[in-house]
Amino acid sequence: MNKEKIKIFLVDDDAIFLKSLEIEFLQNADFIIETFSTGELCLKKLMQNPDVIILDYHLNGIDKNAMNGLSVLDHIKTFNQDIPVVMLSSQDSIDVAINCMHHRAFDYVVKSETAFMRLQKIITRI
């Protein structure tokens, strides 16, 4: 039985967090992972049709002129509204989470020690 691997795009401007998330996914399941430090880099690869995109809310830590997560989310949904996008942020704010949902995010996860477990459960639901 040939089971297709799930392709996940991880987008975060925090290189350490991005690498640790990539390692967690690769160690705990059979995924294809692509990482991007900016939303612009992710958008250039959308034609690869990822199964899930995990997208940081703030993406201007490296480049102050970089697109923010909501703008990237809007572009993704314009490209293909069916790609589930999980927003990831260090902000534990209901207003931010609601705003992400209004932009058609699949879910919202706060960066914490339990973030990876939450992301795994969300991907299982998807």
Q: How do the pLDDT tens digits run along the chain, 126 residues long?
A: 446 889 999 999 999 999 999 999 998 888 999 999 999 999 999 999 999 999 999 887 767 788 999 999 999 999 999 999 999 998 888 999 999 999 999 999 999 888 999 999 999 898
Task: State the helix-helix crossing angle for 69-79 and 94-102, rounded to 10 degrees.
Answer: 20
In this structure, what token pair is assigned to residue 92?
A: 């534990």
> Given this model, what pLDDT does residue 63 score?
74
In this structure, what token pair is assigned to residue 118?
A: 């939450």
Please report the domains of the chain, with CATH numbers, ordered by start residue: 6-125 (3.40.50.2300)
Contact of 126 with 51, CB cutoff 8 Å:
yes
Q: How far is CA 39 from CA 6, 54, 66, 113, in A?
A: 20, 11, 8, 24
- Provide Rg for the chain, Cα atoms: 13
| CB atoms near residue 27 (< 10 Å) | 7
**CB neighbours of 68 closer than 8 A, spacing ≥ 6?**
39, 57, 58, 59, 60
Contact of 101 with 73, CB cutoff 8 Å:
no
Q: How far apart are CA 97 and CA 88, in angstroms?
A: 9
> Given this model, what pLDDT does residue 28 score?
80
